Chain A
């Protein structure tokens, strides 16, 4: 933790001064140089390898990283491009893989908003919401004065996006010269990162059930329903997990 423990929500700091905005922005920047930040960089190293293998160019991949800024969505988008899916089908699959962003932003916005925060600032900052920045913000906001949380989150968001755009570009240039085993290890980073972080980010047991069912049904639907495998796995495995959740709730209510 880089912020002093005494800085809590009730702290009356001179938050209008430019200096405190800059200093909290910089604390946000420094917050990224941590284990979650490093893991994200390693996942983007793997993503850059994937994009390069899929035939995307360096500017296209850097552009995608900046404008989409959600690794699962980017992986789904690349998958749809490789499979030759139509624009509509690709957008639908990406949208479905990104539904989770809405509840994440719903949870973050009330914590980030101060009494004088302008709406457009919240809309602009929401673009930076993805698993890593969300976890960092939710962990640290308690220690940030309310008026300065937007400045702090701007520090986290801009740093993660810009650093990883740079990482993607660098890997793109270097990947050609890597030995086969090392490229294979890089490709393996993305699934392993999500395998672990997805488990950790689940809110309820149903999330773990959905994850296990999704892992098992993904390859099955890939074989029997090519082209619709992700939608089928998401709908059927996710639906089954939700039904499990309802039955469990009902049982709990009955006893």
Chain B
């Protein structure tokens, strides 16, 4: 059973509810339940945070290395270079997310317009 299994109008919504809403809000409700009972410095939470961080990082890297849509036609080196430039700008600007985004987008757009 995947996203395209049923042709009914309600199937995508049910899919989003089960694979999206249920899979995220369960953690939030668990968090409220455990709230106060568990220390945020607990060692299990360090492990949990490591897994979660690595997973989100893998998503980010795949979006940059194997993009879909309009980005798919751009050179890999340009995307990776723009991401590295943006991240460097973020670190150099003392963690200003906007600076990172601005530099990354500037590099990407100049590259795209230069290529034509």
Which A residues fall within an 8 A CB radius of B?
A: 35-36, 38-39, 42, 49-50, 53-54, 56-57, 60, 63-64, 67-70, 72-77, 79-82, 84-88, 90-92, 94-110, 113, 119, 122-123, 126-127, 129, 180-181, 183-200, 202-204, 206-207, 209-219, 221-222, 229-231, 233-239, 241-242, 245
Contacts and interface: CB of A to CB of B under 8 A. Distances in A.
Given A101-B24, A188-B104, A195-B100, A60 B61 contact: no
A63 B16 contact: yes
Nearest to A120: B32
Contact of B19 (A49, A56, A80): A80
Contact of A106 (B19, B34, B56): B34
A191 B64 contact: yes
Interface of B: 1-4, 12-13, 15-32, 34-36, 38, 40, 45-71, 73-74, 79, 82-83, 86-87, 90, 95, 97-98, 100-101, 104-105, 108-109, 112-113
A230 to B, nearest CB: 5
A102 B31 contact: yes
B79 A188 contact: yes
A238 B53 contact: yes
Contact of B31 (A94, A101, A203, A230): A101
A107 B40 CA distance: 6
A94 B19 contact: yes
Contact of A105 (B31, B58, B67): B31
Contacts of B26: 95
Contacts of B27: 95, 98-102, 105
Nearest to B21: A67
B31 A87 contact: no
Main secondary structure, interface of B, reads: helix
A63 B95 CA distance: 32
Contacts of A238: 47, 50-55
Taking each of A39, A126, A192, which has the highest tally of chain B beta carbons within 10 Å of its own beta carbon? A192
A235 B50 CA distance: 9
B109 to A, nearest CB: 5
A214 B61 contact: yes
A103 B48 contact: yes
Nearest to A121: B32
A102 B97 contact: no
Contact of B70 (A53, A80, A103, A216): A53
A214 B20 contact: no
A191 B90 contact: no
B69 A183 contact: yes
Contacts of A233: 54-55, 57-58
Nearest to B39: A106
Contacts of A187: 63, 67-71
